[in-house]
């Protein structure tokens, strides 16, 4: 499980650059991972839980304690037993003789709980890594929106300049200039909104490691550079070793240990006692011994056995249902990624270049008086909207990729090297 966690860490970190060498360098995703791993209380909570279960395992391995006792009989009574003349004093030592390796069953149960908690720790770590990655990508996307707004401002500033020139020349009414200035103001508003979103996203990310006034910058790859991933069949095979499903194996070991412990309860423990008795009246000493065996242990253990067997059967059904649900979620995430990847690539290769050429042509035509201001403005709006849509699709793809990595505990970014003809 640790290897799968490490693989996912490396895989998600591959979305961005390496850890900065100096504090003033831009923060990378790997740096954010390290901060959360060192700070987040949920991971420390699991560590304390492991310490508690280690103590429980040590306690389960202990044998029944010896019991020492003293009994005084036939003393301080009446008649012949007045005073201590007829008293009998017994010193004894006793314990319980466990049958059917009850200690081994208790140890197995404690060990199963430790393994289950370790699986839970791995799953918690994976969930945290995925959450860090989602917030980091969201911050990257907000900065991408700022870049798009900057480009739009530059375009709208050109329209204002051209509209004013034509207005001064008497070739266009003042309303066109005002409309162009309003469009420029909206572009600046969009940039301000993206800046505020970036600030909020930075606060949201830094909250994972307890930083209240973050001022760091981030460094990462181009969000539009989406890697090729394995097909759904390969991912489905890896899903069998996912943290969610491996936790069922740990839980099954716990329930089997409980069944074994319930089975040992059908064999009653023997309580023994051995001691020395002094008879005061005759000044003699005698050996005393005793043994006791509870009756009806098998009948009392029967409900516990039925419960343990039913728990194992229910767990198998839960495992099957969870596997179906996880596969459906994996298929949905895989489909989201492939659709978004296709959209990003098509927009980049087919749509945006044509829109950019159309916007440039409309600008030249407007300055020459061969096109209307509305045509040019609409092309600028469509170009900006398409860039924003491409970024939104890329963000959706990244989140789907993170979800697939979280579910499987693996990185499938090695296919990027395969696509380049490199060894994985």
Q: Which residue has tokens 């304390």?
A: 48
Q: Phi/psi at 268 (nearest 5 deg)?
A: -70, 150
Report yes or no on 328 lying in a domain: yes
pLDDT score for 22: 42
pLDDT score for 88: 80
pLDDT score for 11: 47
Model confidence at 201, in pLDDT bands (50, 70, 90)? very high
Q: Which residues contact 134 (CB under 8 A, 6 or more apart)?
A: 399, 402
pLDDT score for 400: 94
pLDDT score for 195: 94
Strands 284-292 and 270-279: antiparallel
Max mean pLDDT among 56-65, 161-170, 217-226, 254-263 falls in 161-170
Q: Between 315 and 387, name the one with better pLDDT.
A: 387
For position 152, which CATH number holds?
1.20.1600.10
CB atoms within 10 A of CB 317: 9
First to last CA, the chain: 21
Max mean pLDDT among 230-244, 246-260, 340-354 falls in 340-354
Q: What is the DSSP letter of 80?
A: G
Residue 126 has pLDDT above 70, yes or no: yes
Arithmetic mean of pLDDT, 355-378:
92
pLDDT score for 362: 94
Model confidence at 114, in pLDDT bands (50, 70, 90)? confident
- pTM confidence score: 0.75
Model confidence at 323, in pLDDT bands (50, 70, 90)? confident
Report yes or no on 413 lying in a domain: yes
Model confidence at 233, in pLDDT bands (50, 70, 90)? confident
Arithmetic mean of pLDDT, 124-152:
91
Residue 295 has pLDDT above 90, yes or no: no
Max mean pLDDT among 59-73, 82-96, 184-198 falls in 184-198
Q: Between 100 and 24, name the one with better pLDDT.
A: 100
pLDDT score for 424: 30
pLDDT score for 141: 93
Residue 363 has pLDDT above 50, yes or no: yes
pLDDT score for 80: 66
pLDDT score for 407: 85
Q: Which structural domain, as residue segments, surrounds residue 352?
A: 2-419
CB atoms within 10 A of CB 318: 12
Max mean pLDDT among 86-90, 179-183, 303-307, 318-322 falls in 179-183
Report yes or no on 186 lying in a domain: yes
pLDDT score for 241: 77
Report yes or no on 424 lying in a domain: no
Cα–Cα–Cα angle for 17, 402, 231, rounded to 5 degrees: 110
Q: Between 315 and 205, name the one with better pLDDT.
A: 205
Number of domains in the chain: 1
- The torsion of the CA quartet 31, 32, 33, 34, rounded to 10 degrees, works out to 50
Report yes or no on 69 lying in a domain: yes
Concatenated DSSP letters of 293-345? --S-HHHHHHHHHHHHHHHHHHHHHHHHHHHHHHHHHHHHHHHHHHHHHHHHH
Model confidence at 3, in pLDDT bands (50, 70, 90)? very low
Arithmetic mean of pLDDT, 122-143:
89
pLDDT score for 396: 95
Arithmetic mean of pLDDT, 321-343:
92
pLDDT tens string 259-279: 887 778 777 878 888 888 888
Sheet of 270-279, strands arranged across: 67-73, 88-97, 270-279, 284-292
Q: Which residues contact 401 (CB under 8 A, 6 or more apart)?
A: 15, 226, 227, 229, 333, 337
pLDDT score for 416: 35
pLDDT tens string 10-52: 444 444 333 333 445 788 888 888 888 888 888 777 777 777 7
């Amino acid at each position: 499980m640790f290897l799968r966690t490490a693989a996912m860490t490396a895989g998600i970190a591959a979305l961005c650059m390496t850890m900065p060498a100096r504090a003033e360098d831009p923060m990378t995703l790997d740096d954010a991972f390290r901060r959360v791993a060192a700070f987040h209380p949920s991971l420390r909570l699991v560590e304390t839980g492991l310490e508690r279960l280690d103590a429980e395992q040590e306690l389960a391995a202990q044998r029944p304690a010896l019991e020492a006792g003293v009994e005084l009989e036939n003393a301080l009574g009446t008649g012949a037993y007045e005073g201590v003349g007829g008293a009998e004093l017994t010193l004894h030592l006793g314990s319980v003789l466990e049958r059917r390796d009850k200690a081994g069953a208790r140890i197995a149960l404690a060990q199963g709980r430790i393994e289950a908690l370790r699986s839970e720790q791995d799953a918690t770590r994976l969930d945290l890594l995925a959450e860090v990655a989602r917030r980091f990508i969201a911050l990257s996307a907000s900065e991408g929106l700022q870049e798009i707004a900057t480009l739009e401002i530059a375009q709208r500033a050109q329209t204002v300049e051209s509209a004013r020139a034509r207005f001064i020349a008497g070739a266009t009414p003042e309303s066109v200039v005002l409309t162009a200035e309003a469009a420029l103001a909206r572009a600046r508003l969009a940039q301000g909104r993206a800046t505020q979103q970036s600030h909020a996203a930075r606060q949201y990310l830094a909250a994972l490691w307890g930083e209240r006034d973050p001022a760091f910058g981030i460094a990462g790859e181009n969000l539009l550079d989406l890697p090729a991933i394995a097909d759904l069949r390969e991912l489905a095979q890896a899903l069998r070793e996912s943290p969610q499903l491996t936790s069922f194996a740990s839980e099954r070991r716990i329930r089997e240990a409980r069944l074994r412990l319930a089975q040992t309860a059908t064999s009653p423990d023997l309580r023994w006692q051995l001691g020395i008795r002094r008879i005061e009246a005759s000044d003699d000493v005698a050996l005393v011994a005793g043994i006791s065996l509870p009756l009806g242990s098998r009948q009392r253990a029967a409900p516990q056995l039925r419960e343990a067997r039913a728990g194992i059967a229910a767990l198998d059904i839960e495992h099957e249902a969870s596997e179906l649900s996880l596969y459906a979620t994996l298929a949905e995430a895989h489909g989201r990624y492939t659709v978004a990847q296709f959209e990003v690539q098509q927009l980049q290769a087919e749509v945006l270049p044509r829109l950019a050429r159309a916007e440039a042509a409309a600008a030249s035509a407007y300055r020459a008086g061969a096109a209307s201001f509305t045509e040019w403005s609409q092309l600028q709006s469509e170009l900006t909207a398409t860039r924003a849509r491409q970024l939104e699709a890329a963000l959706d793809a990244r989140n789907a990729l993170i979800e697939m990595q979280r579910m499987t505990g693996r990185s499938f970014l090695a296919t990027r090297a395969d696509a380049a003809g490199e060894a994985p």
